[in-house]
Chains A and B, each alone.
Chain A
Amino acid sequence: MHRYANPAQFLRLARAVQPWAAALTAVCLVAGLYLGIFASPPDYQQGESVRIMYVHVPAAWMALFVYTVMAAASFAALVWKHPLADLFAKAAAPIGAGFTLIALATGSLWGKPMWGAWWVWDARLTSVLVLFFLYLGHMALTNAFDEPTRGARAAAILALVGFVNVPIIKFSVDWWNTLHQPSSVLRLDGPTIDPSMLWPLLLMAIAFTGYFLCLVILRMRAEIAARRVRALRFGRTAG
């Protein structure tokens, strides 16, 4: 694990991974969008509005996935002081916030025609809104201190404490009465969704994962360079 703790080594790995991640994203995005918008059938109850699912569900999965990985990275940062873990968490938070925003906004656009309301204060929607605020809080806390390591530490603690929200979101549709439908893909008894809809959904999920990988690498590169600039500046004034 510490093999890639060295930024130079990480940058080499990142440069090797980046084009592959970008290619995978592009292929899956084109295929997923084509299948989702044109080739998949309308839902027998929801009609064409079901196509919102192909952005809404993968975005919501990513919102949870990014937070989970961020919490794991924060744990590694706090326990093993892994130098790239803080960097990862800082780079991932705005992306996770973006996916959460997409899930909330597209969910609202789906809720209006299907439920008759843009927003309801039910368990699923409210807990995802809390997740959005956790991401924003993480971003604010990271940048709230003059000394970056203190900000990173505070944000890592927030990420770990806030992780309690992730299972709440996942199981909110089972634990409480909610307008939101229960899981139809990630179920113990297998997906209950037709393959013609499952395929575009999975392709979009892979595309979003690849997109996240590209973005997080770019943002980590930016942060490593920013730290080098700070170090060089400090070295110049000191020396």
Chain B
Amino acid sequence: MSGFDLAPTLAAASLGMGGYGGYVWPAFAIAALVLGGLLAQSLISARRNEAEAAALRAERTAAAEPPIETPAESLAESLAESHEADDGA
């Protein structure tokens, strides 16, 4: 923090907020809580649902009968699939 003196600005808008600190800070805190809560909940459900969908799809492709192909083709496909499954995990 050397060379950077925030003291005057911090004093001007100190925790007291000219006597209104009890109203100003809770207002910012409520906004942070609501927006932070929404972000956390959205992140968690996106991650969980996307992981579940990937797992189900991997399960299905594993259960499906392997189609008849030339050996080279099926090898390339299985390699690509295992790569995809790694990405999804």
Contact = CB atoms under 8 A, between A and B. Distances in A.
A64 B12 CA distance: 34
Given A38-B13, A225-B46, A225-B50, A52 B23 contact: yes
Contact of B53 (A102, A106, A228, A235): A228
A51 B28 CA distance: 9
A98 B48 CA distance: 22
A221 B46 contact: yes
B85 interface: no
Given A38-B10, A232-B57, A49 B23 contact: yes
Contact of B23 (A110, A223, A236): A110
A229 B30 contact: no
Given A109-B30, A214-B39, A222-B49, 13 more contacts: A48-B24, A49-B20, A49-B24, A51-B24, A52-B27, A95-B38, A106-B30, A109-B26, A113-B20, A211-B39, A218-B39, A232-B57, A233-B56
Contacts of B83: none
A145 B30 CA distance: 32
Q: Which 5 A-B pairs have the closest CB atoms?
A: A225-B49, A48-B18, A49-B20, A222-B46, A48-B17
A55 B46 contact: no
Contacts, number: 106
B19 A102 contact: no
Interface string A138-150: 0000000000000
Interface string A217-239: 01101110110110011011000
Interface of B: 9-10, 12-13, 17-21, 23-24, 26-28, 30-31, 34-35, 37-39, 42-43, 45-46, 48-50, 52-53, 56-57, 60
B39 A109 contact: no
Contact of B39 (A37, A215, A232): A215
A42 to B, nearest CB: 6
A56 interface: yes
A98 B12 CA distance: 31
A190 interface: no
Contacts of B39: 211, 214-215, 218
Interface of A: 37-39, 42, 47-49, 51-52, 55-56, 59, 94-95, 98, 101-102, 105-106, 109-110, 112-113, 211, 214-215, 218-219, 221-223, 225-226, 228-229, 232-233, 235-236
A225 B53 contact: yes
Nearest to B41: A94
B11 to A, nearest CB: 10
B23 A229 contact: no
A218 B42 contact: yes
Contacts of B42: 215, 218-219, 222
B28 A55 contact: yes
Contacts of B31: 55, 59, 102, 106
